[in-house]
Structure 1
């Protein structure tokens, strides 16, 4: 395997995404609540470049005619059809069985149970992806 530098830690601030191309695949790298996450740039609905979507929050459960907003910078909205995904879990907000392809950035750890997991590593000099 080859370790490829993909970003400096300070390049990715809350509420932004850096899209990187590694080999033949694109990934969006996000920072949410101080943790880094990488998602494959393909919406499970029609393959849209989901990481180019708006990073936002969502409505929280509330009374009729009352709109409580929350989860700022935790949701990405697909630019083609508006599907919304949780940036921490990759789950679709309406159907949790529909998920983005995941790869959480961790400090020198791997998660063998992740599906199509990108091998990513956080180091003092930047963020690396193993290919």
Structure 2
């Protein structure tokens, strides 16, 4: 994240983004997904870098962690979004892909402030729209 001044965008009330819910925020031509996963807030770019599929429709899960042969350790519970087209997985906190250190998605700072969900961005947008994703669309 940039160390410069950040612009605050109020996305919705905290009550509107309960655990398991998602919002799609369009800032000019930049589409950002906001997710409440088990009470933790994440924000990341909507488009998968592979073929541009919308990540807001991707499943959220965990992933197997590096481990010794014949040892299977699950981790990152509900912290990985998977592309709905080809299954590429990305850590929603860091944006890092699960398969290559060279591929990642942009992430954004999201906080709950005074009962509102706030998105922090470096550029002040001229147009902002927020869309709800119906429950069950993920």
TM norm structure 1:
0.71
> Please, which of 86, 94, 105 is the counterpart of residue 89 of structure 1?
94
Gaps of 5+ in 2: 1-5, 126-138
Does 2:105 align with 1:100?
Answer: yes
Aligned length: 116
Residues 48-104 of structure 1, C-alpha deviations (whole Å, 9 max, x = no match): 101210000111234545533222110000001110000110000111221102212
Question: What is the alpha-carbon distance in structure 2 between the residues aligned to residue 68 and residue 11 of structure 1?
Answer: 34
> Which structure has the higher relative contact order (CA within 8 Å, separation 6+)?
2
RMSD: 2.7
Q: CA deviation at 1:45?
A: 1.0
Structure 2 CA distance for partners of 1:16 and 1:55, relative to 1, 3 Å:
farther
For structure 1, list consecutive stretches of 5 or more residues without a partner in the other structure. Answer: 107-121
TM-score when scaled to structure 2?
0.68
Displacement of 1:38: 1.2
Counterparts of 1:103 and 1:82 in 2: how far apart (Å)?
22
Question: Partner of 2:97: helix, strand, or coil?
Answer: coil
Instruction: Provide the C-alpha distance between the structure 2 equivalents of 1:7 and 1:84, rounded to a whole number of angstroms.
Output: 27
